[in-house]
Structure 1
Amino acid sequence: MEYIIRQASRQELDILVDWATKEGWNPGIDDAEVFWKTDPEGFVALEVGGKMIGGGSIVSYSGKFGFMGFFMVKPEFRSKGWGTKLWYWRRDKLLSRLDKGAPIGMDGVFVMQPFYAKGGFVFSHRDLRMEGIGTTMSFSEKVVQVNANDFDKINGFDLNVFGYNRKAFIEGWLSIKSGKAFKYVERGEVKGYGMVRKCQKGYKVGPLFAESYDIANELFKAMSSVAHCEAIYLDVPEINTDGMELAKNYNLKECFGCARMYYNQAPKLPYNKIFGVTSFELG
């Protein structure tokens, strides 16, 4: 059967988001627009017989770092080899978009780890989705809502934690109308920030980057207040023991998880400052 793998359109990204919702991945209601503006060439579609049956993301951060996500094939086309063709095409296409030797990250479901390992990805750690109920709480006066004048400082802080410049993404992400972003400021310096956004179910926190447990705690209290009486999710790198302790202290329970894996040399990141990853789709 004839097939083609090609760049996806903006409308087809919406289809991927809809499929992700049906898979139970619970994307944010405004994620697609930010994802697209971050890298319009970073989404692909698998077409068979003139119909889109699969797709995924292959986002490049200025050629220095890539991320693969949104890997999906419609259920009726699974276990027929289409996913393998799509996945390897995506990997190779993303490599061609990156500087030589640049790493690629991904958060893959645990059962697919052997497949990804065959494709050259090496396991780093587990990112665990922790679920609870948002509660209104008082928080430090050093925690304030982010505005457009903060973007440069936030991006500078993010660069030191995420490891790569993603200014276009940050500006879009922090401007999501269905969410709120908070920063922790001490002596005029940003010491942490977080974003909480409305999803198909409840709210997701991501990222939650902070210099210390106490700072992350104050930021989480602010974001939990936004999600008052609704489900709240935090995707914690398991290797950050303080992050796991934070989740435990708010009675968040593991409900899902992914294996963070890398192709080429894994970046050396300050995981002690990563209390919540940004997203499983774009890193």
Structure 2
Amino acid sequence: MTSDVNIRQMARQEVDDLVDWAGQEGWNPGLHDAELFWTNDRDAFIAAELDGELIGGGAITSYGGEFGFMGFFIVRPEFRSRGFGNTLWHARRKRLLGRLRPGASIGMDGVFDMQDYYAKGGFNFSHRDIRYQVEFADGVEECASGSDHIVPIDEVPFEFLAAYDRTCFPAPRPVFLGDWTSQPDALALGCLREGKLCGYGVIRRCLAGCKVGPLFADDERAAQALYSHLAPFADGTPVFLDVPENNPKATELARRYGMQEVFGCARMYLGAPPDIAHNRIFGVTTFELG
């Protein structure tokens, strides 16, 4: 009976279990995702427990109460199709609404075959986020032109980085941003044009290869310069980029580098879609936290 499921906060070590399950599902999490996600919002992780056993979980991240994101929704395979996932999902949505100011929106990236289910929960489709993959056997030709200069992100004043990030994300996220751009096994770069920040990107090692995310840039020129300096970090292993289809230039960038579509999610929102610079988003940060 689904009424026997205990919905509660997760303990830190259980987040490691959730990340392990994500790896088994083929979601290819980053090597340090568990600690980074926990540090960002430890109240975000919700567990489903049955007879004292962890059977599912997910994240309900609040960004200062101004914007929420539902992700990392997993129920162990042997407990699926028994109503447990439905109970967990609705409990998470209710709890997240309680963590946000009235009227704040919630985003999510849901697999396509669950889109109708999420729509019944009040979420409206915005666009597709498509995961692209490529391997560069002979390396990547680095590209920068004109007045664009690629620099380590720690050479960019943090207040400038945070201000730029805010144009591309629905709420301030300073704790996450600081940790994400300084995480181990990663490279974070900024693009300067005439001394002004015109984009930044991060690539991190994952269970397989490396993911670029976020990749935010004023235009395709800056995005290409950043990508071409980030991709060699993968050292011949696969490179992944999660591309929002509502920015056609982002799709063009992925195809320019010979990337192939391997996975996708539907970006959906409960409440008003955020007013952000979609034309600057060439790669989303994560499917799990937005």
> Per the shorter chain, which TM-score range?
over 0.9
1:3 corresponds to which letter in structure 2? V
User: Are the aligned partners of 2:125 and 2:266 in contact in 1 as well (CA < 8 Å)?
Assistant: yes
Are 1:256 and 2:224 counterparts?
Answer: no
Change beyond 3 A, Cα 1:68–1:148: farther
Aligned-pair distance for 1:32?
1.2
Aligned-pair distance for 1:148?
7.1
Partner of 1:230: 237
User: Are the aligned partners of 1:133 and 1:230 in contact in 2 as well (CA < 8 Å)?
Assistant: yes
Aligned-pair distance for 1:133?
1.2
1:204 corresponds to which letter in structure 2? K
1:277 corresponds to which letter in structure 2? V
User: Are the aligned partners of 2:142 and 2:229 in contact in 1 as well (CA < 8 Å)?
Assistant: yes
User: Are the aligned partners of 2:107 and 2:267 in contact in 1 as well (CA < 8 Å)?
Assistant: yes
Q: How far, CA to CA, are the matches of 2:76 and 2:49 in structure 1?
A: 11
Aligned-pair distance for 1:149?
5.8
SS in 2 for 1:255: strand
SS in 2 for 1:195: strand
Q: 2:207 aligns with which of 200, 222, 225?
A: 200
Are 1:160 and 2:167 counterparts?
Answer: yes
Q: 1:243 aligns with which of 222, 225, 250?
A: 250
Partner of 2:73: 71
Partner of 1:217: 224
User: Are the aligned partners of 1:137 and 1:224 in contact in 2 as well (CA < 8 Å)?
Assistant: no
User: Are the aligned partners of 2:210 and 2:240 in contact in 1 as well (CA < 8 Å)?
Assistant: yes
Q: How far, CA to CA, are the matches of 2:170 and 2:46 in structure 1?
A: 25
Q: How far, CA to CA, are the matches of 1:269 and 1:253 in structure 2?
A: 27
Q: 1:122 aligns with which of 112, 115, 124?
A: 124
Q: TM-score, normalised by structure 2?
A: 0.95
Partner of 1:281: 288
User: Are the aligned partners of 1:151 and 1:170 in contact in 2 as well (CA < 8 Å)?
Assistant: no
Q: Percent identity?
A: 49
Partner of 1:32: 34
* 1:84-119 Cα distance to aligned partner (Å, 9 max, x none): 000000000000000001000000000000100000
Q: How do 1:13-24 residues align onto structure 2 when only pairs under 5 Å count?
A: 13-24=15-26
User: Are the aligned partners of 1:196 and 1:223 in contact in 2 as well (CA < 8 Å)?
Assistant: yes
Partner of 1:267: 274
Bigger drift between 264-273 and 143-152 goes to 143-152
1:211 corresponds to which letter in structure 2? D
Bigger drift between 92-101 and 147-156 goes to 147-156
